[in-house]
Structure formats: structure tokens, C-alpha cells
Structure 1
């Protein structure tokens, strides 16, 4: 479907260009205007959809490369604005997006025991975010919220110093089960839609058995 995608990689990033203006008129304009993507030739081009952009768009297979490309583009744009003494104010122009490659199946399915272990071993001196990578493995991301957005599924961030995680955390069975169910629901939505998910925005309307059955269809 996306002809520029490398068939060997389970996840691809691409970069959208958006003007950071939260006014109603600009939000409406961005909804109805063509999307703007960073393309392989280094130019920003308008397309009606990601499908239409597939031949031209720059697809990236590395999280680190995606971060570096966006940071480079932001710094270049800021340098141009500085040359003409234009204050761009607060905001980000280049936005990192991800898409799942349906031709590559995940290799692992996480479980409750893994959630418990990660939370027990996490360092409560830091902010911590539980994420799921493109292969189905759980990870804890410390402090850097931006990094969490580069994973298919991210959970709410645990604030440092509150014993949400670590050796003094109270990790009862019901709490772990709630996290597990949100992770399963978000993981299934990612597998179905190919788009990044925030678990807190997912509505749990299936039991564990049904979720696992649906998820295993993608393995």
C-alpha cells in the first residue's frame, strides 16, 4: 500500500509540517488544507493524503534518525527566521508520526508479569513512562517524554518521587491488571489502525480473552 516502505521493517516514521498556531481559523485551515510532508528530496510538499504521498515521502526506520532529522529541520528553519529577524515564538513545525508496516508481524506479546517486573525495577527518582515497541516488547522510558511519542503505544507518565514505581511502590494485582488491560486495548488498536496510541484514550470494551484472541490474529 505504501510503496516507499521497506518491507523488512515493522515500523516507519514520517514527518509532517504544521504551522504552530492554535487559533480557530488556523486549526480549521489545517483540517481542510492538504497535508504537508517532508519528502525524499528534502522538500516539503502538499498531498491530500498519506497514500497520495507514498511515492515521494521520506520514510525513516530509526527512532534516533527521526529525532535527529526533525531537530535538524527545526534548527534550519529557525536560522532562516533569525536571518530576517522574525520571531517564530513557541511551537514545533516538524512533527514525528509513525505507521505500522502490516507486512511484518510483531515477534512478542507482553504479559502482566513483565509489567510488574519493569515497574518494580524502575527508578522512582525519574519520571517514567511505560511504552510498547513495534515488536510487542514493553519498555520504560525515563524523563524524556518526546521519546515516548516515538513508540506505537505509550501510557501515562508516572511522576518522580511518588512511589508509582520502584521497590517501595504498592503494586497490587488490580492496579497491574488495569495497566495490562489498557496496554492490550491500545496494542490492538495500533495493530488494527497502524497508528500510535495513547492508552489512556482507549476505551476498554472487551475482556482479556477477547482482546488476546483479536491480537493473536496479527501474529
Structure 2
């Protein structure tokens, strides 16, 4: 069911209430970061120098910057760790959630602008890293900006079906972009831990 509030739109596809809450909080934090970054650009004494670039999250921030925004927002809600297990063979996990000392969720973040072989290969590499983490619930936390959310979600769902993944949550909000066309910034959380369980 698609919902909207204060310029943010989201669709929940999962019965996991904690995951839904975490995703909503992540989306709200990213929306606020879009506002703050845009304000910094437009308030600058050199603001005209920035007239021909994206002045928000579409500026192509590193994934780690986006993960930090989500990490900070989740601290009051759950026991969250950023870059957990730095010594792991496949590298650290972007975000992990623990309960009673046990790892219960793992998230890997990735920019996902299209379904070409390169981006899909990188998503699969992150899925393998998540699988090796031992977390019972594993998610790809993907980000992109677009002029056509509906078209992109169809494309994302096709990719998920091919991999036997499940889109658990998607949300978006308007973002600053130099194109004339209105753009939205998208957060899409994909459950990769249930691959093979669904028919």
C-alpha cells in the first residue's frame, strides 16, 4: 500500500514491523539530509558556482555517507553497528542489527542506477557478503535518483525476480537535480535472505 506524508512516499511489502520502522526512519533521515545538503549549497556565498550540479543526495555521495545518515538515525531504535566485522574475508558489513548480543539483521548499501551487468554483479557480490555474515535476515539497501519511479520499480522487480529476492520496502522524495525533469531520490530495501523459500 503506497503512503505519503510531508513530501515522502513509501510502499511497504513486508510484514516485519521492525524492518518497516527501520526503513521509514532511514527514509526520513535521508529526506532530511537532502534538505540540509541542498540548504548548504544554496546558502553558500559561492552558490552560483553550484548552479550546474545536483545539490542534494543526487550529488553522488559515497555510499558510506548515506550509510552514516541511516546509522545515526537507527541508534535510538536498535543496537546497530556500522562497518561490522572489519576482518571478514569479504569485507565489513555496512550495517548490522543485534538483539541480546545476537546478529539478527545485516544490510549492504549500493547505488543502483540501472540493471546492466556491472550493477547487478555488484549487487550479487554484496548478497554473497551478506550470506557469509551469518545474519538470519539479510538486505540490500539500494539508492538511486530517477525521473520515473514507477518504471524503475518495474525494472527493479524484474531483477529481484531473476535473483529470487523480495522487495521489502521502497520510498522516495523529490531531490535537487540539474535536469529540467522532476527527480526523486529512492531508497529500496531488498530481502535476499529468503531466496529459495518462496515459490
Q: TM-score range by the shorter chain?
A: under 0.3
Larger strand proportion of the pair: 2
TM, length-normalised to structure 1: 0.25
Relative contact order higher in (CA < 8 Å, ≥ 6 apart) = 2
TM normalised by structure 2 equals: 0.27
